[in-house]
């Protein structure tokens, strides 16, 4: 299913894992509710989530809350050479970090909230998204922001697209069922904390 097995054509200047974890942890102490976790996701969770994507077909991908780019790096490795990745991040330190670490021309990092996904795609004359992949900690966000993001995401997806997200508790499940036509749930224990992950069809 992988469209782009090599990193040829992509450009990355990734700082060491230690520097990434350190930047992430420092930001956790500044904004614990916005991050929801003290360290980035494990490679096991990244693989479990991204194995659900049809990489051959996907042309418009969106990532919410990339942090230091743990998912971003693997999305760029797998995605089609003609696909576009829009990355939305509210934390200025992470935006600056991502812009220095990744210079892949298929990707744009935007300092904005996931709530604005529809206008962001429209401004770029992009069609609806094939996949939205989220690292946002919904359980620690204010309820109205969570609601706005879920509703905007459902509207921003193609009819055969999907919203992929993980959470550390299943409390979001009723919100997902209310907003999306179908919700598949799975569990990845090899992560700190163990994660519930979901595949939602619009």
Ligand X SMILES: C[S@@+](CC[C@H](N)C(=O)[O-])C[C@H]1O[C@@H](n2cnc3c(N)ncnc32)[C@H](O)[C@@H]1O
- Asked if residue 86 lies in contact with residue 63, where contact means CB atoms within 8 angstroms, the answer is yes
- In the list 71, 131, 180, 197, the residue contacting ligand X (rule: CB under 6 A) is 71
Site string for ligand X, 108-137 (x = CB under 6 A): -----xx--------------------xxx
Nearest residue (CB) to ligand X, 66 versus 161: 66
Output the smallest distance, CB 166 to ligand X, in A. Answer: 7
Look up tokens 């991502």; give the residue.
98
User: Is residue 88 a contact point for ligand X (CB under 6 A)?
Assistant: yes
Site string for ligand X, 182-201 (x = CB under 6 A): --------------------
Burial of 82 per CB tally in 10 Å (0-12, 13-18, 19+): exposed
User: Is residue 25 a contact point for ligand X (CB under 6 A)?
Assistant: no
- In the list 37, 84, 167, 188, the residue contacting ligand X (rule: CB under 6 A) is 37
Which of 125, 121, 134, 196 has its CA nearest to residue 162? 134
Nearest residue (CB) to ligand X, 38 versus 173: 38
Q: Any residues with CB less than 8 A from the CB of 173 and at least 6 apart, and which?
A: 183, 185, 198
Helix (H, G, I), strand (E, B) or coil at 198: strand
- Report the alpha-carbon distance of residue 191 to residue 118 in Å, rounded: 31
- Report the alpha-carbon distance of residue 57 to residue 76 in Å, rounded: 15
Residue nearest to ligand X (CB): 65
Distance from chain centroid for Cα 5: 20
- In the list 12, 52, 90, 99, the residue contacting ligand X (rule: CB under 6 A) is 90
User: Is residue 64 a contact point for ligand X (CB under 6 A)?
Assistant: yes
Sites of contact with ligand X (CB under 6 A): 34-37, 40-41, 64-67, 70-71, 88-91, 94, 113-114, 135-137
């Amino acid at each position: 299913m992988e469209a782009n097995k090599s990193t040829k054509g992509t450009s990355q200047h990734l700082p060491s894992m230690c520097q990434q974890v350190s930047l992430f942890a420092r930001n956790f102490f500044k904004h614990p509710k916005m991050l929801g976790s003290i360290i980035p996701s494990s490679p096991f969770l990244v693989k479990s989530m991204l194995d659900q994507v049809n990489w051959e077909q996907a042309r418009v991908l969106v990532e919410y809350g990339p942090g230091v780019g743990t998912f971003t790096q693997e999305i760029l490795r797998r995605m089609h050479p003609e696909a576009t990745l829009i990355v939305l991040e509210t934390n200025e330190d992470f935006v600056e970090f991502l812009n220095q670490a990744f210079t892949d021309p298929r990707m744009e990092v935007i300092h904005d909230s996931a709530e604005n996904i529809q206008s962001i795609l429209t401004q770029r004359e992009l069609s609806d998204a094939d996949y939205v992949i989220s690292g946002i900690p919904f359980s620690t966000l204010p309820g109205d922001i969570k609601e706005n993001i879920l509703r905007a995401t459902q509207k921003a997806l193609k009819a055969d697209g999907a919203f992929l997200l993980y959470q550390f508790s299943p409390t979001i499940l009723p919100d997902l069922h209310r907003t999306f036509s179908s919700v598949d749930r799975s569990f990845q224990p090899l992560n700190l904390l163990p994660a519930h992950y979901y595949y939602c069809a619009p």
